[in-house]
Amino acid sequence: MQVDQIEMGTVVDHIKAGKAGKVMKLLEIGENYPHRVAIVLNVPSKKTKTKDIVKIEGKLVSEESANLIALVSPGASVNIIRNSKIEKKFVVSLPKEVSGIAKCANPNCITGEGAKTLFRKEDGERYRCHFCERLFKAEELV
Ligand SMILES: [Zn+2]
């Protein structure tokens, strides 16, 4: 698979195996995305046995958006590529707040009626719904 030469784009590496689809969703790369995207599943990895990799041409993902990936795959690393060189590299970290993208699983929560969701991070990598105050694990949000 020859996808290494990205001139401008984002590579997300060390994704927990099986989570590439969720990463695409979190970065809002859908079927209408006009540029090349490569998803490589179950790549052998020294650290974790297997991992997924997502390479997105034509999109420079912000650190804020990229940190959403930590919800499903803590430890994923992000490479921002410009002019065929790695301009910035960082490991994702859990965001303090998650707004809009996540759904509250409490059937009685007011956000079920269409209000925009908001969760705030608490200790132990858990998030509390701003509206119903129920507590969720990070991976339960997405
Ligand atoms: Zn709620």
Structure confidence by residue, pLDDT tens digits, 18-54: 999 999 999 999 999 999 999 999 999 988 899 999 9
* Dihedral sign from CA coordinates of 7, 10, 13, 17: negative
Q: How far is the CA of 108 from the centre of ligand 1 (A)?
A: 8
| Distance from the alpha carbon of residue 141 to the mean position of ligand 1, in angstroms | 11
Domain at 9-91, CATH class = alpha beta
pLDDT of residue 66: 97
pLDDT at 1: 40
Please tell me the distance from the alpha carbon of residue 12 to that of residue 52, in angstroms, as a whole number.
9
Ligand 1 centroid, distance to 55 Cα (angstroms): 34
Question: Residue 110 C-alpha to ligand 1 middle, in angstroms?
Answer: 7
Residues with CB under 5 Å of ion ligand 1 are 104, 106, 109, 129, 131-132
User: Tens of pLDDT along the chain (142 residues)?
Assistant: 444 689 999 999 999 999 999 999 999 999 999 999 999 999 999 888 999 999 999 999 999 999 999 999 999 999 999 999 999 999 999 999 999 989 999 999 999 998 999 999 999 899 999 999 999 999 999 8
Q: What angle do CA 49, 86, 45 make, to 5 degrees?
A: 5
- What pLDDT is attached to residue 4? 63
Q: Where are the beta strands (DSSP E) in 22-142?
A: 37-45, 49-57, 77-82, 85-91, 97-99, 118-122, 126-129, 135-137
Domain ranges of the chain: 9-91, 97-140
Residue-level pLDDT at 39: 95
Alpha-carbon torsion, ordered 32, 2, 46, 60, to 10 deg: -40
Q: 128 alpha carbon to ligand 1 midpoint, in Å?
A: 8
pTM, whole model, 2 decimals?
A: 0.91
Distance from residue 7's CA to the centre of ligand 1 (Å): 42
Q: Which CATH architecture has domain 97-140?
A: Roll (2.30)
Q: Establish whether domains 9-91 and 97-140 are of one fold.
A: no
Residues 118 and 127: beta-carbon distance below 8 Å: no
| Best CA proximity match to 51, nearest among 86, 11, 89, 90 | 11
From ligand 1's centre to the CA of 56, what distance in Å?
33
